[in-house]
Homo-oligomer: A and B are copies of this chain.
Protein backbone atom coordinates (compact mmCIF):
# COMPACT_ATOMS: atom_id res chain seq x y z
CA UNK A 1 0.00 0.00 0.00
CA UNK A 2 1.39 3.35 -1.00
CA UNK A 3 2.30 5.75 1.76
CA UNK A 4 -0.08 8.41 0.62
CA UNK A 5 -3.06 6.09 0.86
CA UNK A 6 -5.15 5.67 3.95
CA UNK A 7 -4.17 2.38 5.54
CA UNK A 8 -7.41 2.09 7.43
CA UNK A 9 -10.02 2.55 4.76
CA UNK A 10 -11.84 -0.69 4.40
CA UNK A 11 -15.16 -1.71 3.07
CA UNK A 12 -17.30 -4.67 3.89
CA UNK A 13 -19.72 -6.11 1.39
CA UNK A 14 -22.42 -4.10 3.14
CA UNK A 15 -20.64 -0.75 2.89
CA UNK A 16 -21.73 1.73 0.25
CA UNK A 17 -19.76 4.80 -0.74
CA UNK A 18 -21.46 7.91 -1.97
CA UNK A 19 -19.81 11.08 -3.18
CA UNK A 20 -22.15 13.85 -2.17
CA UNK A 21 -23.51 15.44 -5.34
CA UNK A 22 -25.72 18.02 -3.68
CA UNK A 23 -22.99 20.20 -2.19
CA UNK A 24 -22.38 23.78 -3.35
CA UNK A 25 -20.25 23.99 -6.48
CA UNK A 26 -17.15 24.92 -4.50
CA UNK A 27 -17.57 22.05 -2.08
CA UNK A 28 -18.75 21.63 1.50
CA UNK A 29 -18.49 24.79 3.56
CA UNK A 30 -17.37 23.76 7.01
CA UNK A 31 -18.54 25.27 10.29
CA UNK A 32 -15.19 26.81 11.18
CA UNK A 33 -14.71 28.36 7.77
CA UNK A 34 -12.61 25.90 5.77
CA UNK A 35 -13.88 24.02 2.76
CA UNK A 36 -13.79 20.45 1.50
CA UNK A 37 -13.90 20.31 -2.34
CA UNK A 38 -15.27 16.77 -2.31
CA UNK A 39 -16.95 14.61 0.31
CA UNK A 40 -17.44 10.87 0.19
CA UNK A 41 -19.38 9.11 2.90
CA UNK A 42 -19.24 5.40 3.65
CA UNK A 43 -22.53 4.14 5.00
CA UNK A 44 -24.54 1.02 5.60
CA UNK A 45 -28.29 0.67 5.68
CA UNK A 46 -30.82 -1.83 6.95
CA UNK A 47 -34.49 -2.19 6.06
CA UNK A 48 -36.31 -0.44 3.24
CA UNK A 49 -37.34 3.16 2.68
CA UNK A 50 -41.12 3.16 2.35
CA UNK A 51 -42.85 4.87 -0.58
CA UNK A 52 -43.73 7.92 1.56
CA UNK A 53 -40.00 8.16 2.47
CA UNK A 54 -40.99 8.83 6.09
CA UNK A 55 -39.54 5.84 7.93
CA UNK A 56 -35.83 6.71 7.88
CA UNK A 57 -33.61 6.74 10.97
CA UNK A 58 -30.06 8.04 10.90
CA UNK A 59 -27.59 6.83 13.50
CA UNK A 60 -24.57 9.00 14.27
CA UNK A 61 -21.56 7.29 15.83
CA UNK A 62 -19.14 8.07 18.62
CA UNK A 63 -15.49 8.82 17.90
CA UNK A 64 -14.31 5.43 16.72
CA UNK A 65 -17.08 3.25 15.23
CA UNK A 66 -17.48 2.51 11.55
CA UNK A 67 -20.73 2.55 9.59
CA UNK A 68 -21.15 -1.12 10.48
CA UNK A 69 -23.64 -0.67 13.31
CA UNK A 70 -25.24 -4.05 12.76
CA UNK A 71 -24.92 -7.26 10.81
CA UNK A 72 -26.82 -7.91 7.61
CA UNK A 73 -27.12 -10.59 4.96
CA UNK A 74 -24.25 -8.93 3.08
CA UNK A 75 -22.03 -8.72 6.16
CA UNK A 76 -23.05 -11.09 8.95
CA UNK A 77 -20.29 -9.96 11.34
CA UNK A 78 -21.71 -8.25 14.45
CA UNK A 79 -21.86 -4.46 14.33
CA UNK A 80 -20.92 -2.06 17.09
CA UNK A 81 -24.61 -1.59 18.08
CA UNK A 82 -25.69 -5.11 17.19
CA UNK A 83 -28.06 -5.52 20.13
CA UNK A 84 -29.91 -2.32 19.24
CA UNK A 85 -30.34 -2.49 15.45
CA UNK A 86 -32.03 -5.32 13.56
CA UNK A 87 -35.30 -7.05 12.76
CA UNK A 88 -37.56 -6.86 15.81
CA UNK A 89 -34.94 -5.03 17.86
CA UNK A 90 -35.34 -1.63 19.51
CA UNK A 91 -34.36 0.12 16.29
CA UNK A 92 -36.46 -2.23 14.23
CA UNK A 93 -35.20 -2.67 10.70
CA UNK A 94 -38.47 -4.34 9.69
CA UNK A 95 -40.22 -1.07 10.35
CA UNK A 96 -37.51 1.52 9.70
CA UNK A 97 -35.00 2.29 6.99
CA UNK A 98 -31.88 2.69 9.15
CA UNK A 99 -28.72 4.42 7.94
CA UNK A 100 -25.37 4.71 9.69
CA UNK A 101 -22.49 6.62 8.12
CA UNK A 102 -18.84 6.65 9.06
CA UNK A 103 -18.24 10.15 10.41
CA UNK A 104 -16.79 12.83 8.19
CA UNK A 105 -13.15 13.03 9.32
CA UNK A 106 -13.13 9.33 10.20
CA UNK A 107 -11.05 6.56 8.67
CA UNK A 108 -13.55 3.89 7.68
CA UNK A 109 -14.35 5.03 4.17
CA UNK A 110 -15.60 8.56 4.66
CA UNK A 111 -13.53 11.57 3.64
CA UNK A 112 -10.97 12.20 6.37
CA UNK A 113 -7.34 13.11 6.95
CA UNK A 114 -6.24 9.82 5.40
CA UNK A 115 -8.08 10.60 2.14
CA UNK A 116 -6.36 11.92 -0.92
CA UNK A 117 -6.41 15.69 -1.20
CA UNK A 118 -7.61 16.29 -4.79
CA UNK A 119 -5.50 19.45 -4.89
CA UNK A 120 -2.22 17.63 -4.18
CA UNK A 121 -2.88 13.98 -4.98
CA UNK A 122 -1.51 13.07 -1.56
CA UNK A 123 -3.18 12.25 1.73
CA UNK A 124 -4.41 15.32 3.62
CA UNK A 125 -2.79 14.34 6.89
CA UNK A 126 -2.83 17.34 9.20
CA UNK A 127 -3.71 19.57 6.25
CA UNK A 128 -7.24 18.26 6.48
CA UNK A 129 -9.54 21.15 7.39
CA UNK A 130 -11.04 21.58 10.86
CA UNK A 131 -14.04 19.30 11.13
CA UNK A 132 -16.76 19.89 13.71
CA UNK A 133 -19.75 18.03 15.07
CA UNK A 134 -21.86 20.44 13.01
CA UNK A 135 -20.10 19.26 9.85
CA UNK A 136 -20.62 15.61 10.72
CA UNK A 137 -24.32 16.39 11.16
CA UNK A 138 -24.44 18.31 7.86
CA UNK A 139 -22.80 15.50 5.94
CA UNK A 140 -25.49 13.20 7.34
CA UNK A 141 -28.13 15.67 6.15
CA UNK A 142 -26.68 15.71 2.62
CA UNK A 143 -26.45 11.92 2.66
CA UNK A 144 -30.10 11.46 3.61
CA UNK A 145 -31.19 13.80 0.84
CA UNK A 146 -29.06 11.81 -1.62
CA UNK A 147 -30.95 8.75 -0.39
CA UNK A 148 -34.30 10.42 -1.12
CA UNK A 149 -35.22 11.45 2.41
CA UNK A 150 -36.42 15.02 2.97
CA UNK A 151 -37.58 14.58 6.53
CA UNK A 152 -36.16 11.80 8.66
CA UNK A 153 -38.22 10.00 11.23
CA UNK A 154 -35.51 9.99 13.85
CA UNK A 155 -31.88 10.98 14.37
CA UNK A 156 -30.13 8.98 17.07
CA UNK A 157 -26.66 8.94 18.51
CA UNK A 158 -24.54 8.32 21.56
CA UNK A 159 -21.56 10.30 22.81
CA UNK A 160 -20.24 12.34 19.87
CA UNK A 161 -23.14 10.81 17.93
CA UNK A 162 -25.62 12.31 20.38
CA UNK A 163 -24.03 15.72 19.86
CA UNK A 164 -24.28 15.18 16.10
CA UNK A 165 -27.97 14.32 16.33
CA UNK A 166 -28.59 17.49 18.35
CA UNK A 167 -26.53 19.52 15.87
CA UNK A 168 -28.64 18.08 13.04
CA UNK A 169 -31.82 19.15 14.80
CA UNK A 170 -30.48 22.66 15.45
CA UNK A 171 -29.11 23.22 11.95
CA UNK A 172 -32.08 21.82 10.04
CA UNK A 173 -35.19 22.71 12.04
CA UNK A 174 -38.11 20.58 11.00
CA UNK A 175 -35.93 18.11 9.09
CA UNK A 176 -36.29 15.43 11.76
CA UNK A 177 -39.36 14.33 13.69
CA UNK A 178 -37.78 12.58 16.66
CA UNK A 179 -34.44 12.97 18.38
CA UNK A 180 -32.54 10.43 20.48
CA UNK A 181 -29.55 11.76 22.41
CA UNK A 182 -27.60 9.31 24.59
CA UNK A 183 -24.68 10.35 26.84
CA UNK A 184 -24.02 13.55 24.90
CA UNK A 185 -23.39 17.12 26.11
CA UNK A 186 -24.61 20.66 25.54
CA UNK A 187 -20.97 21.68 25.44
CA UNK A 188 -17.61 20.21 26.31
CA UNK A 189 -16.50 21.07 29.83
CA UNK A 190 -12.94 21.56 31.13
CA UNK A 191 -12.39 18.05 32.55
CA UNK A 192 -13.48 16.45 29.29
CA UNK A 193 -11.45 18.90 27.23
CA UNK A 194 -8.44 18.17 29.46
CA UNK A 195 -8.78 14.40 29.06
CA UNK A 196 -9.10 14.66 25.29
CA UNK A 197 -6.43 17.34 24.89
CA UNK A 198 -4.04 15.09 26.77
CA UNK A 199 -4.81 12.15 24.49
CA UNK A 200 -4.09 14.31 21.49
CA UNK A 201 -0.88 15.68 22.97
CA UNK A 202 0.28 12.14 23.71
CA UNK A 203 -0.21 11.22 20.04
CA UNK A 204 1.43 14.41 18.82
CA UNK A 205 4.39 13.80 21.17
CA UNK A 206 5.14 10.51 19.47
CA UNK A 207 8.01 11.34 17.08
CA UNK A 208 6.37 9.08 14.51
CA UNK A 209 3.40 11.43 14.32
CA UNK A 210 5.68 13.68 12.25
CA UNK A 211 3.37 16.70 12.40
CA UNK A 212 0.56 14.65 10.97
CA UNK A 213 2.41 13.45 7.90
CA UNK A 214 3.38 9.92 8.81
CA UNK A 215 3.78 7.01 6.48
CA UNK A 216 2.15 3.64 6.94
CA UNK A 217 5.51 2.23 7.95
CA UNK A 218 5.98 4.80 10.71
CA UNK A 219 2.67 5.45 12.32
CA UNK A 220 2.62 6.86 15.87
CA UNK A 221 1.54 3.55 17.40
CA UNK A 222 3.10 4.15 20.80
CA UNK A 223 1.26 7.45 21.19
CA UNK A 224 -1.96 5.91 19.91
CA UNK A 225 -1.70 3.08 22.42
CA UNK A 226 -1.23 5.46 25.35
CA UNK A 227 -4.02 7.73 24.13
CA UNK A 228 -6.40 4.82 23.72
CA UNK A 229 -5.64 3.61 27.23
CA UNK A 230 -6.46 7.04 28.62
CA UNK A 231 -9.64 7.03 26.57
CA UNK A 232 -10.62 3.65 27.99
CA UNK A 233 -10.01 4.85 31.54
CA UNK A 234 -12.42 7.72 30.91
CA UNK A 235 -15.05 5.54 29.24
CA UNK A 236 -15.52 3.08 32.09
CA UNK A 237 -16.47 3.32 35.75
CA UNK A 238 -14.52 2.48 38.87
CA UNK A 239 -17.01 0.02 40.32
CA UNK A 240 -17.17 -2.11 37.19
CA UNK A 241 -13.40 -2.53 37.25
CA UNK A 242 -13.43 -3.21 40.98
CA UNK A 243 -15.72 -6.17 40.50
CA UNK A 244 -14.08 -7.35 37.27
CA UNK A 245 -10.39 -6.95 38.11
CA UNK A 246 -10.05 -6.05 41.78
CA UNK A 247 -6.32 -6.40 42.50
CA UNK A 248 -5.80 -9.54 40.40
CA UNK A 249 -2.20 -10.07 39.34
CA UNK A 250 -0.98 -11.54 36.07
CA UNK A 251 0.10 -15.17 36.30
CA UNK A 252 3.88 -15.52 36.77
CA UNK A 253 4.44 -16.70 33.19
CA UNK A 254 3.05 -13.42 31.91
CA UNK A 255 5.32 -11.22 34.01
CA UNK A 256 8.31 -9.76 32.19
CA UNK A 257 10.27 -9.43 35.43
CA UNK A 258 11.26 -5.92 34.35
CA UNK A 259 10.65 -3.09 36.77
CA UNK A 260 7.45 -1.05 36.13
CA UNK A 261 6.13 -3.54 33.57
CA UNK A 262 2.55 -4.82 33.68
CA UNK A 263 1.76 -6.73 36.85
CA UNK A 264 -1.96 -6.21 37.47
CA UNK A 265 -4.76 -7.60 35.30
CA UNK A 266 -6.13 -4.10 34.78
CA UNK A 267 -2.85 -3.11 33.15
CA UNK A 268 -3.07 -6.11 30.87
CA UNK A 269 -6.66 -5.34 29.96
CA UNK A 270 -5.71 -1.84 28.85
CA UNK A 271 -2.76 -3.16 26.86
CA UNK A 272 -4.88 -5.79 25.12
CA UNK A 273 -7.55 -3.29 24.14
CA UNK A 274 -5.08 -0.65 23.02
CA UNK A 275 -3.26 -3.13 20.78
CA UNK A 276 -6.52 -4.12 19.12
CA UNK A 277 -7.28 -0.47 18.44
CA UNK A 278 -4.05 1.06 17.20
CA UNK A 279 -3.84 -1.05 14.08
CA UNK A 280 -7.38 -0.21 13.04
CA UNK A 281 -7.68 3.52 13.60
CA UNK A 282 -5.97 6.44 11.90
CA UNK A 283 -4.19 8.69 14.43
CA UNK A 284 -5.08 11.85 12.52
CA UNK A 285 -8.77 10.91 12.49
CA UNK A 286 -8.47 10.46 16.25
CA UNK A 287 -7.05 13.96 16.58
CA UNK A 288 -9.65 15.65 14.36
CA UNK A 289 -12.70 13.95 15.84
CA UNK A 290 -11.43 14.37 19.39
CA UNK A 291 -10.97 18.12 18.83
CA UNK A 292 -14.41 18.35 17.23
CA UNK A 293 -15.94 17.27 20.53
CA UNK A 294 -14.03 19.96 22.46
CA UNK A 295 -15.42 22.61 20.15
CA UNK A 296 -19.03 21.51 20.41
CA UNK A 297 -21.10 24.12 22.22
CA UNK A 298 -24.82 24.55 21.69
CA UNK A 299 -24.40 28.14 22.92
CA UNK A 300 -22.55 28.91 19.68
CA UNK A 301 -25.84 28.32 17.85
CA UNK A 302 -27.28 31.44 19.41
CA UNK A 303 -26.75 33.70 22.39
CA UNK A 304 -26.85 30.86 24.89
CA UNK A 305 -27.47 27.14 25.29
CA UNK A 306 -31.15 27.89 25.64
CA UNK A 307 -31.13 30.05 22.53
CA UNK A 308 -29.34 27.32 20.55
CA UNK A 309 -31.80 24.70 21.80
CA UNK A 310 -34.74 26.89 20.80
CA UNK A 311 -33.85 26.23 17.16
CA UNK A 312 -34.85 22.60 17.58
CA UNK A 313 -38.22 21.72 16.14
CA UNK A 314 -39.01 18.04 16.75
CA UNK A 315 -42.15 16.32 17.93
CA UNK A 316 -40.38 14.68 20.84
CA UNK A 317 -36.90 13.89 22.12
CA UNK A 318 -35.49 11.03 24.15
CA UNK A 319 -32.53 12.00 26.33
CA UNK A 320 -30.63 9.24 28.14
CA UNK A 321 -27.92 9.53 30.78
CA UNK A 322 -25.92 6.99 32.74
CA UNK A 323 -25.33 7.36 36.47
CA UNK A 324 -21.68 6.23 36.34
CA UNK A 325 -20.56 8.23 33.28
CA UNK A 326 -17.64 10.47 34.32
CA UNK A 327 -16.95 11.81 30.81
CA UNK A 328 -20.46 12.94 29.89
CA UNK A 329 -22.00 12.90 33.37
CA UNK A 330 -25.69 12.44 34.04
CA UNK A 331 -26.03 16.06 35.11
CA UNK A 332 -25.11 17.08 31.54
CA UNK A 333 -27.89 14.83 30.24
CA UNK A 334 -30.35 16.47 32.63
CA UNK A 335 -29.08 19.81 31.35
CA UNK A 336 -29.89 18.76 27.77
CA UNK A 337 -33.36 17.58 28.77
CA UNK A 338 -34.06 20.68 30.85
CA UNK A 339 -32.85 23.06 28.12
CA UNK A 340 -34.99 21.30 25.52
CA UNK A 341 -38.05 21.41 27.75
CA UNK A 342 -37.46 25.07 28.57
CA UNK A 343 -37.60 25.84 24.86
CA UNK A 344 -40.78 23.89 24.24
CA UNK A 345 -39.58 20.44 23.21
CA UNK A 346 -41.43 17.43 24.61
CA UNK A 347 -38.75 15.27 26.29
CA UNK A 348 -38.55 11.82 27.81
CA UNK A 349 -35.55 11.85 30.14
CA UNK A 350 -34.24 8.50 31.35
CA UNK A 351 -31.28 8.04 33.67
CA UNK A 352 -29.91 4.52 33.51
CA UNK A 353 -28.26 3.03 36.56
CA UNK A 354 -25.57 1.04 34.76
CA UNK A 355 -22.09 0.10 36.01
CA UNK A 356 -20.62 0.57 32.52
CA UNK A 357 -19.93 4.32 32.58
CA UNK A 358 -19.80 6.23 29.33
CA UNK A 359 -19.54 2.99 27.34
CA UNK A 360 -22.83 1.67 28.73
CA UNK A 361 -24.72 2.30 25.46
CA UNK A 362 -22.34 -0.12 23.70
CA UNK A 363 -22.80 -2.88 26.26
CA UNK A 364 -25.88 -2.60 28.36
CA UNK A 365 -28.55 -4.16 26.12
CA UNK A 366 -30.72 -4.93 29.11
CA UNK A 367 -31.14 -1.31 30.16
CA UNK A 368 -30.90 0.47 26.82
CA UNK A 369 -33.02 -1.65 24.49
CA UNK A 370 -36.31 -1.20 26.38
CA UNK A 371 -35.77 2.55 26.68
CA UNK A 372 -35.15 3.07 22.96
CA UNK A 373 -37.81 0.57 21.92
CA UNK A 374 -40.43 2.17 24.10
CA UNK A 375 -39.65 5.61 22.71
CA UNK A 376 -39.67 4.55 19.06
CA UNK A 377 -42.83 2.48 19.51
CA UNK A 378 -44.49 5.65 20.76
CA UNK A 379 -43.51 7.52 17.58
CA UNK A 380 -45.49 5.19 15.31
CA UNK A 381 -48.48 4.49 17.55
A interface residue numbers (CB < 8 A to B) = 126, 130, 187-191, 193-195, 197-198, 200-202, 204-205, 207, 212, 222, 226, 229-230, 233, 236, 238, 241-242, 244-247, 259-260, 262-267, 270, 287, 291, 294, 297, 326, 329
Contact = CB atoms under 8 A, between A and B. Distances in A.
A201 B191 CA distance: 22
A193 B266 CA distance: 8
Per DSSP, are chain A's interface residues mostly helix, strand or loop, or mixed?
A: helix
21 contacts: A130-B259, A189-B238, A190-B242, A190-B244, A190-B247, A190-B264, A191-B233, A191-B241, A191-B242, A193-B247, A193-B264, A197-B262, A197-B264, A198-B229, A198-B233, A198-B270, A200-B260, A201-B229, A260-B287, A264-B294, A326-B326
The 8 closest A-B pairs by CB, nearest first: A190-B241, A190-B266, A191-B238, A190-B245, A197-B267, A194-B233, A194-B266, A193-B264
A247 B188 contact: yes
B187 A247 contact: yes
B191 A270 contact: no
A141 B308 CA distance: 62
Given A126-B260, A189-B242, A190-B266, 15 more contacts: A126-B259, A189-B241, A189-B247, A190-B242, A190-B244, A191-B238, A193-B247, A193-B267, A194-B229, A194-B270, A198-B226, A201-B229, A204-B260, A238-B329, A264-B294
A205 B233 contact: no
Contact of A197 (B204, B259, B270, B294): B270
Contact of A190 (B238, B259, B326): B238
Contact of A230 (B193, B198, B238): B198
A153 B266 CA distance: 39
A18 B94 CA distance: 78
Contacts of A246: 189-190
A317 B34 CA distance: 62
B226 A201 contact: yes
Contact of A226 (B188, B205, B262): B205
